[in-house]
Chains A and B, each alone.
Chain A
Amino acid sequence: MRAAFFGGIYNNYIGLEEALADARRRGAERLFCLGDVGGFGPHPDRSIESLRKAQVEMVQGNYDDAVGNAREDCGCGYTDPRDNHFARLSYAYTLDKTSAGHRPWLAGLPPQLSVELGGTRLHLVHGSPRQQNEFLWESTAPDAFLERLCVEAGADVLLCTHTGIHWQRQLPSGRRVVNVGALGRPANDGRTCVWYAFLDTEAETAPPFCFIPLAYDHQRLAREMRAEKLPEEFVETVLTGWWTTCLEILPSKERLRGRF
């Protein structure tokens, strides 16, 4: 069994189309998205339409809940004034540009998904099993904490996104946690590609999950973001691979790997 797991799309419909094609080329039989279709990028309807057309199995992210239910803010969980300033700009744009016809679909997405693939119980969430907008960063997710989440969720493998930076770890019990990263913006590593996770249960190499770097037409995305008058700080991230906003939520280890 082969399956692809996409993290936050953040309106990057160009990257999403590329990821769908790439996953199919690699033989993915099932496609999953762990939520946050909107935010950051342009034209929110286009990503929603691609996901629906491809029948991607969805988990609801905080952005999907917020847009679907027209909430006051995106619920991203930032605590810093500058982070919140950019989160408000991004949310106002996505909320305004998402068609009314798509909102019930976003509002009705399941917050969690349990599936069995190749005899392994996978539990898919956006943030964590206990909180939709919880950030599971590699450096602030110790083993005992992750074991607890897996046990409570009844999972052999817990898959999440929300942070935008991919990582995976096998726990002492043999359980595994995979943060699948995000298709919506680069991983703050100075590269313009975005990432998703791929599972091959019959792969002879371990671990069965790998991360796929995905090149896409980021120049086109940047042009469209500028045409939509989205913040230049967001465009800079797309063009350079370095995060310029939403930085204060990063733990020190992840922050120091970035430029800003």
Chain B
Amino acid sequence: MKSDVPESRATEAVARGPRVPFRWMDTLWVQVTGTLCNIACQHCFISCGPKATQIPVMGVDEVQRALDQGRDAGVRHVYFTGGEPFLHPELQSLVARALDVAALTIVTNGILLDDDTVRWLAGAFERSRNALDLRVSLDGMTAAQNDSVRGRGTFAEIVAALQRLGAGGFSPVVTVVEHEQGLEGAEARARFLDFVRGLGIRQPRVKFLPLLRIGREARRSEGYADRLGDEALLPAVESSLLCATGRCFTAQGVYTCPILVEDASARLGASVAEASRGIRLGWAACQTCVLDGLRCNT
């Protein structure tokens, strides 16, 4: 398995930091397209892109195996992520399979959501008893603000996709990474909600996410200078962390969370059962979840 983390440092990482017992298996992230993406954002925390193959695309059988293990564990939510999930050639089949198991959220940049795809998604939403949600990334209210990190022309493409989703009756969650000043706080949130409503989305939902300074983002900014100490977390913080109730299934095994899938030391096993155990938050990026309150769940 490829990893940027030397084995010695990896061993050190998991042997320190506050402990997080595994409570139960609620949320199964499935990295259906690995690191394959149609764009290469400057702030991506796992270095995804059109030529990024360090984590392979999962086959249908592999995804089904993940879903079966999730069902056995009594999972509530499945998240399809990547890379860009809509690049998967069998995504329609994967969505049907996931909705048969649990509520599903697809984390996407939206660019591939053409009219046919939106119509198909609306049908899947109607047919399923379990919830189907979309999470679309948009990192600014102007092309200048968004395209500086997501790539030239992406603002127009994402906005057009959101308009199609709104016209199709969807209310996607728009996620905004706080990649520059002015993209945080209540005022920015209110402005963004108005902006999304203006795109024709009846019930706008916006989720702001702090920057994760790993992956490609570590090359744009300075990365992390420190890690968490060994002190115990407050119970309310500990129990709310994604890694207390979820795991990420990839083509290379099951990881602590979707953030650390490029770090070999965060691989906890080959199956959900193997990975359902307590961990220590020895990875630098854990600071963002503990100190900045990042929660990947919608």
Does B248 reach chain A (CB closer than 8 Å)? no
Other-chain contact of A79, B125, B129, B295 (Cβ < 8 Å): B295
Contact of A256 among B74, B129, B171, B186 (CB under 8 A): B171
Closest 7 pairs between A and B when the two form their complex, measured CB to CB: A148-B74, A139-B131, A251-B131, A140-B103, A142-B102, A145-B74, A144-B71
Q: Besides the contacts A139-B129, A147-B74, A252-B125, what 8 more A-B pairs have beta carbons closer than 8 Å?
A: A140-B103, A142-B71, A145-B74, A247-B203, A252-B131, A255-B171, A256-B171, A258-B203
Contact B189 A142 (CB under 8 A): no
- Nearest CB of A to B72, in Å: 8
Q: Is B19 an interface residue (CB 8 A)?
A: no
| A81 and B189 form a contact (CB under 8 A) | yes
- Contact across chains for B101 and A144 when beta carbons are under 8 A apart: yes
The chain A residue with its CB closest to the CB of B203 is A255
Instruction: Name the distance in Å between A72's Cβ and chain B's nearest Cβ.
Output: 10
Which residues of B, 129-143, contact A by the 8 Å Cβ criterion?
Answer: 129-133
Q: Which residue of B lies closest to A147 (CB)?
A: B74
Interface size on B, residues (CB 8 A): 24
The answer to whether A145 and B203 touch across the interface, beta carbons within 8 angstroms, is no
A139 and B103: CB pair below 8 A? yes
Segment 225-260 of A: residues with Cβ below 8 Å from B: 247-248, 251-253, 255-256, 258, 260
A binding-site residues for B, Cβ under 8 Å: 79, 81, 130, 137-142, 144-145, 147-149, 247-248, 251-253, 255-256, 258, 260
Question: Smallest CB–CB gap between A52 and chain B, Å?
Answer: 31
Q: Which residues of B contact A (CB under 8 A)?
A: 24, 71-72, 74-77, 101-103, 125, 129-133, 169-171, 186, 189, 203, 205, 295
Nearest B-chain residue to A252, judged by Cβ: B133
* Chain B hits for A248, CB < 8 A: 205
B75 to A81, Cβ gap below 8 A?
Answer: no
B74 contact set on A, CB distance < 8 A: 144-145, 147-149
A-B contact list, 17 entries, CB within 8 Å: A130-B24, A139-B129, A139-B130, A140-B102, A140-B103, A140-B130, A142-B130, A144-B101, A144-B102, A145-B74, A145-B76, A147-B74, A251-B133, A252-B132, A252-B170, A252-B171, A255-B203
CA distance A70 to B292 in the complex (A): 27
Instruction: Check if A81 sits within 8 Å of B171, measured CB to CB.
Output: no
In the complex, what distance in Å separates the CA atom of A247 from the CA atom of B203? Answer: 10
